[in-house]
Homo-oligomer: A and B are copies of this chain.
Amino acid sequence: MNLRIPGPTPLPDEVLQASGKQMVDHRGPEFKAMFDRITSGLKEMFQTKNDVLILSSSGTGSMEAAIANTLSPGDRVLAVSIGEFGERFAAIATAFGANVTKLNFAMGTHATPEGVREALVKDPSYKAVLITHNETSTGITNDLGPIAAVVKGEFNKLFLVDGISSVGSIECKTDEWKLDVVLSGSQKGWMAAPGLAFVAMSPTAWEANKTSKMPKYYFDLAKAKISADAKETPWTPAMSVFYALDKGVEILKREGYQNVYKRHADLSARTRNGLKALGLKMVATEDKYASNTVTAVYLPEGIEDGALRKHIQSKYQVVLAGGRGALTGKVFRIGHLGYVTAKDIDECIEAVRGSLIDLGVKLPVNIK
């Protein structure tokens, strides 16, 4: 099966073998050594010298942790959104009592520094800005550096970044860009199974944590920090995912982080080029902002999402993701992150070609 969804991703054999290792004491020396290795690998990939904490949850848990640990009910929050995961970040802040204003950019586009600046000029009362680095629903990556220059450099706001489907695959310069909180999840580019989420915290984020009044317990990062300093977790960790991640981080380091970024960029371009040759239209209106980890593609007219995905899976053993939110039923999505090669992409594109023909779609004349 060619699992081409944006997480969970297919795992290398050595990661699968690691996942099946016997349990050890989560307060014992073996775990502490592993915790240390993983944390140091995460910090390299997050490009930060500050804390990176590990939570036993999905990425959404880390989004809740980011908000509940830095904000208080009533705090004014600007939630920049370019899709479903931007909406989710805003919804979590709202659920925990923040006073959220949404800044939405049009479907298929990215957030602009100008747009963010305008919103921050208009209302100086914001305490924090939320943003999605890579929007998995539309396949678009925001250009974070220039936006961070506005949020941090010009307005010095607390800046919380959902990097769940970017960090580990797409470069995120956490310290250089002065990002306060950056998130990721084990099932994305990390070549590991789902079940762990990561939270990078700047000194400014820890300052905000001191006065944050939103309720928290399981996701209490101050507790996680005390435990992390002792190389463990406050609650029993998802041990087999730690084993997988330990191996995944090792593989990423072996490849070299810059090579990892380049591989994702190359395979993303390969995916889009293949799809465009079939006459398909990407959700991303500009190639420059197209995501290196996931591509969202409009379905050809007359083709139902369910029919395509069912057919391609049963006939070609390729698993695609459907659309989310406003794009449900209108697009399909291809994940190209983590353990993925050009061969996986070529087989996927070939399967899309075959399926479209099987389903009666007229492809461009130069395609058979």
In this complex, what residue of B is CB-closest to A188? B236
Contact across chains for A195 and B235 when beta carbons are under 8 A apart: no
Main secondary structure, interface of A, reads: loop
**Are A26 and B239 CB-contacts (below 8 A) given A19-B20, A217-B64?**
no
Query: Which among A10, A27, A239 has the greatest number of chain B C-beta atoms within 10 A?
Result: A239
A5-25 contacts to B (CB < 8 Å)? 5, 7-11, 16-25
What is the count of identical protomers in the complex?
2
Q: Point out the residue from B9, B58, B214, B239 that lies within 8 Å of A194, measured CB to CB.
A: B239
Residue A59 at the B interface, CB < 8 A? Answer: yes
> Distance in Å from the Cβ of A327 to the closest Cβ of chain B?
15
Contact across chains for A215 and B95 when beta carbons are under 8 A apart: yes
With a cutoff of 8 Å between Cβ atoms, the chain B residues found around residue A61 in the complex are 56-57, 218, 235
Contact across chains for A215 and B218 when beta carbons are under 8 A apart: no
Contact across chains for A16 and B20 when beta carbons are under 8 A apart: yes
Q: Point out the residue from B18, B25, B60 that lies within 8 Å of A218, measured CB to CB.
A: B60
Contact across chains for B241 and A240 when beta carbons are under 8 A apart: yes
> Distance in Å from the Cβ of A318 to the closest Cβ of chain B?
11
- In the complex the two chains form, what is the Cα distance from A351 to B11 in whole Å? 40
Contact across chains for A195 and B241 when beta carbons are under 8 A apart: yes
With a cutoff of 8 Å between Cβ atoms, the chain B residues found around residue A28 in the complex are 313, 319
Contact across chains for A239 and B193 when beta carbons are under 8 A apart: yes
| Binary interface encoding of chain A residues 290-330 relative to chain B, with 1 for a CB under 8 A from any of its CBs, else 0 | 00000000000000000000000100000101100000000
A residues at B contact (CB < 8 Å): 1, 3, 5, 7-11, 16-28, 56-61, 63-64, 68, 91-92, 95-97, 185, 187, 193-195, 214-220, 234-241, 244, 313, 319, 321-322
A-B residue pairs in contact (CB < 8 Å), sample of 28:
A3-B25, A7-B236, A8-B26, A10-B23, A16-B22, A18-B20, A26-B194, A56-B238, A57-B57, A57-B218, A57-B235, A58-B236, A58-B237, A59-B236, A60-B218, A61-B235, A63-B218, A95-B215, A95-B216, A96-B215, A187-B236, A194-B238, A195-B195, A195-B237, A195-B239, A215-B215, A238-B238, A240-B240
Further 16 A-B residue pairs, CB within 8 A, beyond A3-B22, A218-B219, A240-B240: A8-B236, A10-B22, A16-B22, A19-B240, A25-B319, A25-B321, A26-B194, A56-B61, A56-B194, A57-B61, A57-B218, A60-B217, A60-B218, A60-B236, A95-B216, A97-B215
